[in-house]
Structure 1
Amino acid sequence: MEKLEQLKPYEAELDSLFKELYEEFIKSDFIKRDKLPKYRGIYVFYESGKPIYVGRSNNIRNRIQWHTRESSGSESASFAFNLAKLEYGNQSEIKKQRKVLMQIEEFLEIFRKHKLNLKNLEFKCIRVENDILQTMFEPYLAYKLKTYPVNNTFENH
């Protein structure tokens, strides 16, 4: 109940709050992977100045490291996994479960390449402590930055 109470002051003003958070995010500086903050919030991968993926985490630095770590599997490096599925393009194979795809050498090479590429990108972050606001702001930001529906789908699994 405490988290709901934290949201009460914002309830009537969510539209303006999201606009304020969005403006704060847009004004924020780009950050390299080795300088990422450890706070809770929303992060965005940028490639050549273009936003390509929005995520949220309790520890932004750790989460992005998992996305890009050489040893990360398909669950931890979910963005790289999804990019690899898009590039792999074999529709009959893509419909297979993660475990099956992760045993196909050609797919694994593509997956590794995407993790390495993601490691070298720039990021932007914004602190959002309240998990309800995080959950609501993530798709809002993905929509505004146009990473939805390409790399952010928000589909149920």
Structure 2
Amino acid sequence: MNEQFHQHIEFLHPSFEALLCSVPFQFTSLPKVLPKAGIYLFSNGEQHLYVGRTNSIRKRLQQHCRSGSSHNSAAFAFRLAREACKVPQATYKPQGSRKDLLQDPDFALAFTDAKAQLRTMNIRVIEESNPFRQALLEMYVAIALAAPYNDFDNH
């Protein structure tokens, strides 16, 4: 194995364990001190749902959870709304696009409800500023927890 890659993956499991051992919080009680960059995990009780990575954890959590967040910044909530409305796949054609879906009052309500749901979920974070390790850790955590809302499909 390439030595540089090996050095990056050696930290994966210890960081995964540290993330799971961290004290969860809800968006409504964001800690005053959060890591700048790293991995975040949304869970509903003990069910781990979505893992993300960012260079600005506080800002990214706000984008996911704030009621005024757009379809482009609240991707997890948008996915929950698609599931609730039985819209299985995103499309990049005008009809069925994110913008088009939000014209449907039922879908718009489901999107608003999903953002509210995210605000009640448990959130855990762990610091990781190295972009390679951040990407690898996001994938490792998503695979290890079988996070149902993560996919690494190309769009």
5+ residue gaps in structure 1? 1-7
* Distance in 2 between residues matched to 1:131 and 1:66, nearest whole Å: 20
Which of 16, 20, 25 lines up with 1:22 in the alignment? 16
In terms of fraction of residues, the more helix-rich structure is 1
Pair 1:112 & 2:112 matched: yes
Higher relative contact order (CA 8 A, sep 6+): 2
Measured after TM superposition, the shift of residue 27 of structure 1 is 1.7
Deviations 1:35-82 (A, max 9, x none): 261510000011112211100111111111110111111111100000
* Distance in 1 between residues matched to 2:64 and 2:44, nearest whole Å: 15
Measured after TM superposition, the shift of residue 102 of structure 1 is 1.2
Which of 60, 64, 67 lines up with 2:61 in the alignment? 64
Could you list the runs of 4 or more consecutive aligned residues of structure 1 that deviate by over 6 angstroms after TM superposition? none
CA RMSD in angstroms comes to 2.0
Q: TM-score, normalised by structure 1?
A: 0.85
* Distance in 2 between residues matched to 1:10 and 1:46, nearest whole Å: 32
1:37 aligns to what SS in structure 2? coil
Measured after TM superposition, the shift of residue 32 of structure 1 is 2.5
Deviates more, 1:52-61 or 1:27-36: 27-36
Deviates more, 1:15-24 or 1:112-121: 15-24
* Distance in 1 between residues matched to 2:66 and 2:119, nearest whole Å: 8
* Distance in 2 between residues matched to 1:94 and 1:26, nearest whole Å: 31
Which of 70, 76, 80 lines up with 1:73 in the alignment? 70
Deviations 1:100-154 (A, max 9, x none): 111111100001001011111111111001011111111111011110xx20011
Which of 30, 37, 42 lines up with 2:34 in the alignment? 37
2:11 aligns to what SS in structure 1? helix
5+ residue gaps in structure 2? none
* Distance in 2 between residues matched to 1:141 and 1:84, nearest whole Å: 24
Give the number of equivalent residue pairs.
147
1:113 aligns to what SS in structure 2? helix
Look up the equivalent residue of 1:152 and give its one-letter code.
Answer: N
Aligned residues with identical type, % of pairs? 30
